[in-house]
Structure 1
Amino acid sequence: MTAFDPARLILPPEDRALSPHTGWTRGHWAAVADHLLLSLRPYFTSTRSQVRLPGRTSSSGAASDGLEGFARSFMLFAFRLTGERGADPHGFLDWYRDGLVAGTDPSNPERWILPAEQAQAEVEAASIALGLQLTRPWLWDTLDAVAQQRIVDWLSLNPVGWYPDNNWLWFRITVETFLASVGGPHDPARIASDLARIEDYYQADGWWADGTWRAYDYYCGWAMHLYPLLWAGSQGSADFGSGALAPVFRARLTEFLDDYVTLTGADGVPVLQGRSLIYRFATAAPLWMGAVTGATQQPLGLLRRAASGQLRAFVERGAVDERGLLTMGLFGEWPAMAQSYSGGGSPYWASKGFLGLVLPADHEVWTAVEEPLPIEQGDVRRVIRPAGWLVSGTAADGIVRVINHGADHAFEGDRIGDSALYARFGYSSATLPPLIGATIDDPADSMVGALDAEGRSTHRTGFVRGAFGDDGIAAFASSTADAHWVDSSNDPPTYDHGSGRAGVVTDGPLLATASVVRGSWEVRATRRLPQEGVAAAPLPVRVSGWPLTGSAAAIAESEDAAIALDLDGVRSELRALSGAATASIRTEAGVSPIGEVASIPRLDFAEVGEGDVVIAAIRLGRGADPAPSARAVVSDAGEAVVEVFWPDGAVSAVRIG
């Protein structure tokens, strides 16, 4: 037998007959899963109760991180063992059985932390409970009574503490339901209360927010659709109403997947938006859940094509390093993108993306021929009203874009800074905003903001959502921001969970913005609205476009009030469609995990007074695509409408504000 080498991920041959788009099959998924699990062995502690990985220590501490490494990889092992119906040629079962017994032994110096010591245990307890549910015949049922009782004792400590008002409630439900199934302590009233509270997070059309605020991101899929249906199919859940809830959860996932399959680019990279992107191909979890439950109208070959495309895209871009580890980063290692609660074991929530491995090799999702993504079948235009997103994907370049008028990881009226991963107007499968540095207080990309005397832009978090729709020609959305400057330099965050930073706030103007989207172009029109009791002196307004990030700055072409950047064939264009504007480029180094240098086009409109409208055309794409034109029409009653004239003669008219 050849010795295992973590530096070499050995994959089976591609199968282009079964998988014409990715070449990857169940064998590839199994090979990556086994490689990840085998590569962890040097990092298990002596009693196998923790997996202590190199790199940064989270705000929760090293012992918490060690539990995290164990629990999250245990989930991956559980998917793998379940799909193989107990077959375990690599002996993973012994490692995780030993770790469970040792971790819950109070006398073990390497025991697991208690939730009273660190609340992160509440998160990891759910992965332990979930793994035990799935592997029950081969693991739990083989443990002696003493080991079972110790596991029950440790798990039962977790539900009693404080839980954040978000997806964490599913962790408590998962743990308590497992405890109920093995005769352990649990609180039926608390389970019912948590289920009722979670229902408040549901919006419409299959979309959940991660809590009560405007937190729309991949947690909708890898948390709010994953846990409900795993719970509903688990032993013991029937006592808590899963029989009635399961059809509801399935119907919601079906709706969600109709939107979700449009959010992956032709190269397999999903739209890069929201916190916890270090979980990478966990984005595949809801796709597999559709196959596991049958809760989808999408062909199973399409679901696998999307999931395999995501896994392959991340693996080929360096997600697994030369040690066989998932690093803190997006493609390769880039620790600065992690939230404060992230440690070396955190990226192993990517394990959720391997859910499909619970399905055996003869399941139709594995035997069906891959079918093309929506973006590979033609251009995609979609309005996702719950999240306030316009989706525009173009088959010519394989890029998916989201224009955002609904998410900011905050509440309406909040006065904090913009989170780069939530509050920008634009996100795509080919770009990522700068995540650190000066742009935290001075938003630089995909923005509209007023400028202060130092040239810093306002923020828009706390905006009011407006109208959303599609006129059959283009999609449109609008929002109104009580724009404000934020200086967080003297108020660094002690805990980062994805929201924008607090700081000293200075009031700015009221800016109403409408986006009209068709193909690779967005027409963005912004009107400065009157503010009662505020002097309406003219001030400059900046419109910025898509950031291009690579090993060097993008190549620029400019003309009067227009600029185009080109980097490796991807173009970011920005042109003024109203008034006089000055074009420039902002360049930032070391601020993004996808490249060393970020180049951002921008237009400055010098004097914008009350009632004035500025209009820009913004594009992300490849090759040439004729730009639209536009004008603002203001009625006698003061209502402003942007009229957009598309190159093929079609016209769209959308109200601003």
Structure 2
Amino acid sequence: MPGEFDDLRLSPFTGWTRAHWAALADRLLLAVRPHASASHARITLPGAPGGYGTDVDGLEGFARTFLAAGFRVAGEHGRDPLNLMEWYAEGLAAGTDPASPERWVRLDEHDQAKVEAASIALVLHLTRPWLWDRLGPRVRERVVEYLAPAIGATYPPINWIWFQIVVEQFLASVGGPFERADIEAGLALTDGFARENGWYADGADRAYDHYVGWALHFYPLIWTEMAAGDPDADARRPGYLRRLERYLHDAVHLVGADGSPLIQGRSLTYRFAAAAQFWLGARSGVATPAPGLLRRAASGIARHFADHGAPDEDGLLTLGWHRAWRPIAQSYSGPGSPYWAAKGFLGLSLPADHPVWTATEEPLPVESRDFHLAVAAPGWLVSGTRGDGMVRVINHGTDHSRPGSRLTDSPLYARLGYSTATSPILAGEHATRPVDQSVVILAADGEPSHRTGFETLVIGRLPSGALVGASRWQAHWVTPDGHAPDHGYGRGGRVRLGPWLHTVSIVRGAWEVRLIQVGDAGDGPGSLRVGGWPLPGTGEVREATATATVSHDTGHSLVAGGAGLELCGLVSAEDASPLASRVLVPWCATTGPARAGTWYHAAVYLGGREPGEPPAVHRNGPATVVGWPDGSTDELEPRFMTRTTGRSGEVR
């Protein structure tokens, strides 16, 4: 809702200006002070300790809030009315002192310290005239000694490599020890993360999520600033910029009109860290998107959370999405973890006269028109509808795994659909037993199969403008091994294999037509079930038309089964979503074992308006014809219904 101090001339969509962002940052920074240790080296926020213990929690609280403080002071050219630099300088002195009771866990004592060290090094770089240059010689020595174990250390081959690069680059800049070979090897490894159209994968897996923007684009360009003048950094920067600019074209399509980012992927508790990618575009000087659109996206995200209880009434960020909801976190998350939201304050590092702050806000793509976007790298079919402001993603390319793996499905990655208006079921039995946005085979005991390890067959656009995607996988059931930590992705274990499933999605507006073929199986397939979007509200089941619907004030979710999918119903999940205490999932299914070789179809809907009649689907010889509610028609050629279809950004 508009606030008393909103500027609807400069910011007609959010009302937010730089003053709003500064006030939010100051509120967060002041609110954590009562939870700091005597010399401020540790900030241990309320709540149960994280999976790595209170020593790590206290370091996270310092390093992540330090990011916000650094952006705040850098953008003011050192003006510091809250005395942030002196306050954090005391913490630096104590945290790096091995004899202090507040000393930080070291990089060679716990891997998480490698993450937090990068934030410390980055802020020391950004605020060098007002902090590093004013530290005493012995404190500087201790900071260097604290960071030095990064040299030659082992880092996981994912976004973590950038933490080593950033730390060693800072050490190099202050005359400390560093290893050029570490930086060169890290850069070479991260080159391998690059994918089509400016996207990055987080390592070798099909791992696409918010880390693409807030880590894998963020650190390369920040590193080129830190290493400015180095021939390698200067040579790499134009390529990093080109990738970012192309990626941001897709990223602005993934923000809902209400400011919600896509609710997909791990570490969602970082909330408005998702805004960092848009500020990075402004800071780096990309030609497009325009500054007014970049600010509109970033401010929309921050305002979305501020309007929904984050930070809370005490000014604190809790583990949750809107308000506190612990199940959204991974097992390693602690009470200081949410403060990586501070990355979203990167815009404050830009002065008040920067174009991103002075330009008039421009509308998001979903506020301008209905759109259909095929995003090849993550395998997403993106549909935005102006009437309800929702953005939906149909997923045929992301599972945080690789083709042929046999893992459980992570609800954060392997569901068939994600949106800005719904959350996957993240807690309770249905988090590990897929029902929402799924196509599963039900075993004799009712256990649903998993799809992780699927093959992506096609991602593209039909001549009409509708989107088409397809994937194929062998249904499998997994009994997970032991009690592996929850890092947000699927788990391995003892596997039982079932039939192959070939699924094709045709997307137009708020509708998806989902076509499914079940392959042969040695012991015969079980029943086939198709799950839709999870929503709070009231549900209705109409057996005569094999339709299940969930409706509430602002949204409707529907699944309508075609021939053979004549059983329908609703699954209720309690305390399973950060958006509501109870959600319902509509589904349709076969009444008995699925027939091998038969193509089934279901219409799946998510929208702000009541859905009306679903699309009509029929066969025209070997082709499949879809008649949409708006009167348009798509004919799907036989090649889309075979395994041999190849991936493409455009289907002709």
TM-score of the two chains, using structure 1 as the length reference: 0.94
Give the secondary-structure state (helix, strand or coil) at the position aligned to 1:102.
helix
In structure 1, which of residues 228, 242, 258 is the aligned counterpart of residue 249 of structure 2?
Answer: 258
State whether structure 2 residue 424 is matched by structure 1 residue 424: no
State whether structure 2 residue 515 is matched by structure 1 residue 529: no
1:441 CA drift (Å):
3.2
Specify the alignment match of 1:617 in structure 2.
603
What do the CA deviations read for 1:86-143 (whole angstroms, capped 9, x no partner)?
0011111111010111111111111111122111000000000000010001110111
1:456 CA drift (Å):
2.0
Q: Name stretches of at least 5 consecutive residues in structure 1 with no aligned partner.
A: 1-9, 636-640
Give 1:190-209 correspondences, 5 Å limit: 190-209=182-201
Specify the alignment match of 2:74 in structure 1.
82
Are the aligned partners of 2:197 and 2:243 in contact in 1 as well (CA < 8 Å)? yes
Distance 1:472 1:117 in 2: 57
Which residue identity lines up with residue 574 of structure 1 in the other structure?
V
Specify the alignment match of 2:531 in structure 1.
544
Give 1:273-292 correspondences, 5 Å limit: 273-292=264-283
In structure 2, which of residues 187, 206, 223 is the aligned counterpart of residue 214 of structure 1?
Answer: 206
In structure 2, which of residues 90, 97, 101 is the aligned counterpart of residue 105 of structure 1?
Answer: 97
Specify the alignment match of 1:70 in structure 2.
62
What do the CA deviations read for 1:51-101 (whole angstroms, capped 9, x no partner)?
111112122211111011100110110000000000011111111010111
Which residue identity lines up with residue 182 of structure 1 in the other structure?
V
Specify the alignment match of 1:7 in structure 2.
none
Which residue identity lines up with residue 35 of structure 1 in the other structure?
R
Distance 1:190 1:442 in 2: 42
State whether structure 2 residue 575 is matched by structure 1 residue 590: yes
Distance 1:479 1:621 in 2: 24
State whether structure 2 residue 488 is matched by structure 1 residue 498: yes
1:557 CA drift (Å):
4.9
Are the aligned partners of 2:411 and 2:432 in contact in 1 as well (CA < 8 Å)? no
State whether structure 2 residue 586 is matched by structure 1 residue 601: yes
Distance 2:573 2:245 in 1: 41
Give the secondary-structure state (helix, strand or coil) at the position aligned to 1:202.
coil
Give 1:390-429 correspondences, 5 Å limit: 390-429=381-420
Specify the alignment match of 1:165 in structure 2.
157
Specify the alignment match of 1:458 in structure 2.
449
1:216 CA drift (Å):
0.4
In structure 2, which of residues 478, 482, 497 is the aligned counterpart of residue 507 of structure 1?
Answer: 497
In structure 1, which of residues 517, 537, 540 is the aligned counterpart of residue 507 of structure 2?
Answer: 517
User: Which deviates the most, 309-318 or 604-613?
Assistant: 604-613
Which residue identity lines up with residue 430 of structure 2 in the other structure?
T
Are the aligned partners of 1:218 and 1:274 in contact in 2 as well (CA < 8 Å)? yes
1:362 CA drift (Å):
1.0
What do the CA deviations read for 1:175-194 (whole angstroms, capped 9, x no partner)?
00000001111110111000
Give the secondary-structure state (helix, strand or coil) at the position aligned to 1:524.
strand
1:578 CA drift (Å):
2.7
Distance 1:554 1:506 in 2: 36
State whether structure 2 residue 300 is matched by structure 1 residue 300: no
Measured on the aligned residues, the alpha-carbon RMSD in Å equals 1.6
Specify the alignment match of 1:579 in structure 2.
564
Which residue identity lines up with residue 179 of structure 1 in the other structure?
L
Distance 1:286 1:98 in 2: 31
Are the aligned partners of 2:152 and 2:179 in contact in 1 as well (CA < 8 Å)? no
Distance 1:652 1:135 in 2: 59
Give the secondary-structure state (helix, strand or coil) at the position aligned to 1:417.
coil
CA shift in 2, pair 1:63/1:240, >3 Å = farther
Specify the alignment match of 1:124 in structure 2.
116
Distance 2:251 2:482 in 1: 35
1:472 CA drift (Å):
3.1
Q: Name stretches of at least 5 consecutive residues in structure 2 with no aligned partner.
A: 644-652
Distance 1:242 1:547 in 2: 46
Specify the alignment match of 1:651 in structure 2.
634
Specify the alignment match of 1:115 in structure 2.
107
Are the aligned partners of 1:82 and 1:358 in contact in 2 as well (CA < 8 Å)? yes
CA shift in 2, pair 1:454/1:154, >3 Å = same
Give the secondary-structure state (helix, strand or coil) at the position aligned to 2:184.
helix
Distance 1:344 1:364 in 2: 36
State whether structure 2 residue 164 is matched by structure 1 residue 145: no
Distance 2:360 2:635 in 1: 40
Specify the alignment match of 2:42 in structure 1.
50
User: Which deviates the most, 397-406 or 90-99?
Assistant: 90-99
Give 1:441-456 correspondences, 5 Å limit: 441-456=432-447
1:200 CA drift (Å):
0.7
Specify the alignment match of 1:3 in structure 2.
none
1:486 CA drift (Å):
2.2
What do the CA deviations read for 1:441-461 (whole angstroms, capped 9, x no partner)?
310100001111122211100
Specify the alignment match of 2:479 in structure 1.
487
Which residue identity lines up with residue 31 of structure 1 in the other structure?
A
What do the CA deviations read for 1:539-571 (whole angstroms, capped 9, x no partner)?
31000100003xxx4232524211221022310
Specify the alignment match of 2:357 in structure 1.
366
User: Which deviates the most, 122-131 or 100-109?
Assistant: 100-109
Specify the alignment match of 2:233 in structure 1.
242
Distance 2:138 2:21 in 1: 36
Distance 1:240 1:409 in 2: 35
1:411 CA drift (Å):
1.4
Specify the alignment match of 1:338 in structure 2.
329
Distance 1:57 1:530 in 2: 49
Distance 1:349 1:253 in 2: 21
Are the aligned partners of 2:565 and 2:588 in contact in 1 as well (CA < 8 Å)? no
Give the paired residue count: 634
State whether structure 2 residue 560 is matched by structure 1 residue 570: no
Give the secondary-structure state (helix, strand or coil) at the position aligned to 1:608.
coil
Distance 1:493 1:633 in 2: 51
Give 1:301-320 correspondences, 5 Å limit: 301-320=292-311
Runs of 4+ in 1 over 4 A off after TM superposition: 632-635
CA shift in 2, pair 1:90/1:514, >3 Å = same
Give the secondary-structure state (helix, strand or coil) at the position aligned to 1:49.
coil
What do the CA deviations read for 1:490-548 (whole angstroms, capped 9, x no partner)?
x45332211113333221110000000000000000111246xx24x353100010000
In structure 1, which of residues 628, 631, 635 is the aligned counterpart of residue 615 of structure 2?
Answer: 628
Distance 2:408 2:621 in 1: 32
Are the aligned partners of 1:192 and 1:240 in contact in 2 as well (CA < 8 Å)? no
State whether structure 2 residue 209 is matched by structure 1 residue 224: no
Which residue identity lines up with residue 350 of structure 2 in the other structure?
L
Which residue identity lines up with residue 600 of structure 2 in the other structure?
V
State whether structure 2 residue 6 is matched by structure 1 residue 14: yes
CA shift in 2, pair 1:125/1:632, >3 Å = farther
1:632 CA drift (Å):
4.6
What do the CA deviations read for 1:254-307 (whole angstroms, capped 9, x no partner)?
000000000011101011000000000000011001111112411111111111
Are the aligned partners of 2:152 and 2:182 in contact in 1 as well (CA < 8 Å)? no
Distance 1:543 1:471 in 2: 24
Specify the alignment match of 1:6 in structure 2.
none
1:364 CA drift (Å):
1.0
Give the secondary-structure state (helix, strand or coil) at the position aligned to 1:116.
coil
Specify the alignment match of 2:649 in structure 1.
none
State whether structure 2 residue 340 is matched by structure 1 residue 357: no
In structure 2, which of residues 16, 31, 41 is the aligned counterpart of residue 24 of structure 1?
Answer: 16
Specify the alignment match of 2:648 in structure 1.
none
Which residue identity lines up with residue 525 of structure 1 in the other structure?
L
Which residue identity lines up with residue 369 of structure 1 in the other structure?
T
Give the secondary-structure state (helix, strand or coil) at the position aligned to 2:150.
coil
1:211 CA drift (Å):
0.7
Are the aligned partners of 2:565 and 2:601 in contact in 1 as well (CA < 8 Å)? no
Distance 2:315 2:233 in 1: 39
